[in-house]
Amino acid sequence: MATLSLIIGLLAGTQSSCAIASTPTPVVLWHGMGDNCCLPFSMGKIKSTIKDMYPGIFVHSIEMGGNIALDEVGGFFGNMNQQVESACKQLAAIPELANGFNAVGFSQGGQLMRAYVERCNTPRVKQLITFGGQHMGISDIPGCIGTSVILCKQMAELLGRGAYLPGVRNVSIQAQYFKDPMAQQDYLARNIFLP
């Protein structure tokens, strides 16, 4: 709940600076590992709280794969570069975002949203807020808790086989930002996402 209050506070600062505007600046959310766009107790709750705080605001929560089940799987398996490319197309097709938006990324979603800003940024992000984004990578396997324990354990098994192996690196989302501090040159040579 503290994170949600912080988000609302940050958005309030950006919204109040636009007090003359007839509608608040839209918000785009991108979830982290083990979540999906729309769970009513996580991203759905954040979306509804923002809408309650700012009547008339447009809030979009990025969904990959066409449904919430595939969106959750996509938090563990897939290609982050393809996900960013898909988000670029998804957001460009939403008319409510044409004049820009504020972006909020949670954990892995923060990295993905950062890549959106660096690669396409159309429509334009006015303010990027990330919470717990691993912008310098991870050097250990994330813990497996929450609603996606089976998917998480499968991801951990893949990482244990070798995060820098192409067969693992190209399939496991977490391997795409795994950064072994004892193998910096391997990371630089084999990294396929953000350096």
pLDDT value at residue 13: 55
Q: Is the pLDDT of residue 136 over 70?
A: yes
Quick: pLDDT tens for 15-39: 555 455 578 999 999 999 889 999 9
pLDDT value at residue 10: 60
Calculate the alpha carbon distances from 43 to 60, 87, 107, 176 in Å. 10, 17, 13, 24
Average pLDDT, the chain: 87
* Half-sphere CA count of 121, side-chain side, radius 13 A: 10
User: And the tokens for 53?
Assistant: 């705080």
Torsion-angle region of 176 (φ positive above 0: left; ψ -120 to 50: alpha; else: beta): alpha
pLDDT value at residue 2: 62
Quick: pLDDT tens for 157-177: 887 778 888 888 888 998 899
pLDDT value at residue 179: 87
Mean pLDDT of the region 4-12:
61
* Residue with the two structure tokens 């759905």: 44
User: And the tokens for 31?
Assistant: 């979830």
Report H helices in 54-180: 68-73, 80-92, 108-119, 149-162, 166-169
Mean pLDDT of the region 70-90:
95
Burial of 49 (0-12, 13-18, 19+ CB in 10 A): middle
Q: Give the type of residue at 69.
A: A
Q: Which helix (H) or strand (E) holds 8?
A: helix 2-16
Q: Are 136 and 149 in contact (CB under 8 A)?
A: no
pLDDT value at residue 190: 87
Q: Is the pLDDT of residue 11 over 70?
A: no
User: And the tokens for 52?
Assistant: 């309650």
Q: Are 173 and 72 in contact (CB under 8 A)?
A: no
User: And the tokens for 156?
Assistant: 């951990």
Q: Is the pLDDT of residue 8 over 80?
A: no
To the nearest 5 percent, what fractions of the chain are helix, strand and coil? Answer: 45, 10, 40
Confidence tier at 187 by pLDDT (50, 70, 90): confident
Q: Is the pLDDT of residue 47 over 70?
A: yes
Task: Using the Cα atoms of residue 64, residue 67, residue 70 and residue 71 in order, give the sign of their dihedral.
Answer: positive
Q: Is the pLDDT of residue 4 over 90?
A: no
